[in-house]
Chain A
Amino acid sequence: MFACLRGEYPALRTLQRKSNERQLQEAMQSLGPSVRAFAPQPIIDANLSMSCAFAKFWASTWNEPEIAVPFIAAGYGKVGDDLLRLVHSSDPGPEADRELVTHWAERLNLTRWFKTIDKQ
């Protein structure tokens, strides 16, 4: 979706970048001791793994590898790569979103935390 927005609406790129930069900075705050002090480790791990995938995506897109360094330094580099691979190997259309979510949940051991239901 990010790539789609960026590719099809170049006029929005600056706005999109600002928004992503802000999100990345917020995600980096989760690495710190204050968040670790109150959040359970499985939630921290899942959250930072997804943040790492997000950071790696933009690091590659903007050619600014340093953006992913905080998450790599914290040990989430490999899982970030795995999650990105799942994105690249899935169908880019919105109809594949559910499948992608399920694959990410499997990789992050979150499958017991939710279930998908058919649209009523």
Chain B
Amino acid sequence: MSQEYSFSLPYAAFDLELIGLSRADIGSAEYSEKVSEFFTSQFSKFGGRARVILNDTQQTISVTWTKEAAFKDPCKRALELLRSGKIAEAVPLLWAVHHEKPKDTDILYNLGVAHSELGHVEKAIEILSRLVQIDQNHVHGLVALGVANIKLKDLQSGEVFLRRALMLEPENPWALKNLGACFLKQGRAAEAVPVFDAAIKLNSGDIQSILGLGQALEEIDRGQDADAQYQKLISMGGPDHIIDLAKERRTALAHKTMRDRGSFRPDVMMYITGALDKFVGMTRSQIEAIGFEIAILGQRGLDINDPEQKYSLRTLPGKFSGIHLCSIMYAAFKEFAPNEDVGIDFSKEYQAATSMRPR
């Protein structure tokens, strides 16, 4: 025989007399176990060239077997699927292998991580807990269990597992990064800083740890150090959502720094006065266009601590510094959306500027 045979059978169509169960047991863990055992024993001589998959979602048993030597091992196939990001497809295969080798820690680990990635966090915790019971020193398993607990918002358990992983492998960057994040989520920024630092020393390109370090430094009022981390991250590049977050934090930090420096900014008042002068001959829609253009520019990050006139607008001629643009935007929004929070408070400067204007 060289042909590959395959068939699928709905859960409900399996002959329950063969495994001594009743209809009420269909789909239970015992059902899966006994069905797997049945097929495994029937196809035992085929070894890795037989594959039994129980798909709980579709309630279907799929079986494939062949005598072909080139038939792909189900474990290898599952790992290939995981590597190519086809996690949902890999899960039934991993379960099939797990039923054959219930104590294989690599399979348990991959199965747990796959479920965690798919958002089945409680299932992931159940599987990963089984893994660390079998092998208490499985560092990756402990880290994954820590991460899954954090996802479930059980931060204390998450911390315990991550610390256990770090006891075994103090320089595990994945454990460090996640412990840092766990501290941050618990409001323990001071403890997060050295942990993120250690993670970055081990992997200088770890942008998530750099972002985490920036956030932790911000929380302990080391704004300049935080800004340096965000700048580093932006210059390194990376996924848009992380870069955007770094830019947002830079803008927020700049606003905070500016406010902290003094209660009143005469330069801002002057910029607002200038803007109001310009608005006199403009229509409402022209003013809106200016306001929105600066707001959009601001989302990409405006450096309001740098006096250099490095920005230009499509809606207004000339070159502007970051603080100048923010002042124009504030004045513009006051014209057409006075109650809108533009993310920066120039109310004192605006009030001063308008009070000096002829009525």
Contact = CB atoms under 8 A, between A and B. Distances in A.
Interface of A: 21-22, 24-25, 28-29, 31-33, 36, 62, 64-67, 69-70, 72-75, 77
Contacts of A31: 7-9, 13
Given A28-B7, A33-B8, A64-B1, A74 B43 contact: no
A70 B9 contact: yes
Contacts of B18: 72-73
Nearest to A69: B42
A99 to B, nearest CB: 30
Given A33-B8, A69-B42, A69-B43, A75 B13 contact: yes
A31 B9 CA distance: 6
A67 B8 contact: no
B279 interface: no
B208 interface: no
29 contacts: A21-B1, A22-B3, A25-B3, A25-B5, A25-B6, A28-B5, A31-B8, A32-B7, A32-B9, A32-B10, A32-B60, A33-B60, A36-B13, A64-B1, A66-B42, A69-B43, A72-B15, A73-B9, A73-B15, A73-B18, A73-B38, A73-B39, A73-B42, A73-B61, A74-B9, A74-B13, A74-B14, A74-B15, A75-B15
Contacts of A72: 15, 18
Interface residues on B, range: 20 to 34
B1 A70 contact: no
B8 A73 contact: no
B311 interface: no
Nearest to B2: A21
Interface of B: 1, 3, 5-10, 13-15, 17-18, 38-39, 42-43, 45-46, 58, 60-61, 63, 65
The 3 A-B residue pairs whose C-beta atoms are closest, nearest first, are A75-B15, A28-B7, A21-B3
Contact of B15 (A21, A22, A62, A77): A77
B11 to A, nearest CB: 10
Nearest to B38: A73
A62 B2 CA distance: 13
A25 B6 CA distance: 7
A95 B125 CA distance: 67
A117 B114 CA distance: 63
Contacts, number: 62
Contacts of A21: 1, 3
Contacts of B17: 75
Contacts of A25: 3, 5-6
Contacts of B6: 25, 28
A75 B15 CA distance: 5
Query: Could you say which of B1, B7, B15 has the most chain A C-beta atoms within 10 Å of its C-beta?
Result: B7
Nearest to A24: B5
A36 B1 contact: no
Contacts of B5: 24-25, 28, 67, 70
Given A64-B1, A66-B46, A73 B14 contact: yes
Contacts of A64: 1
Query: Could you say which of B15, B61, B65 has the most chain A C-beta atoms within 10 Å of its C-beta?
Result: B15
A31 B14 CA distance: 10
B203 to A, nearest CB: 47
Contact of B63 (A24, A29, A70, A77): A70
B134 to A, nearest CB: 31
A65 to B, nearest CB: 8
Nearest to B61: A73
A50 to B, nearest CB: 16
Contacts of A36: 10, 13
Nearest to A77: B15
B42 to A, nearest CB: 5
A30 B65 CA distance: 17
Contacts of B38: 73
Contacts of A77: 15
Nearest to A25: B5
A33 B5 CA distance: 17
Contacts of A62: 1
A67 B6 CA distance: 10
B145 to A, nearest CB: 36
B60 A70 contact: no
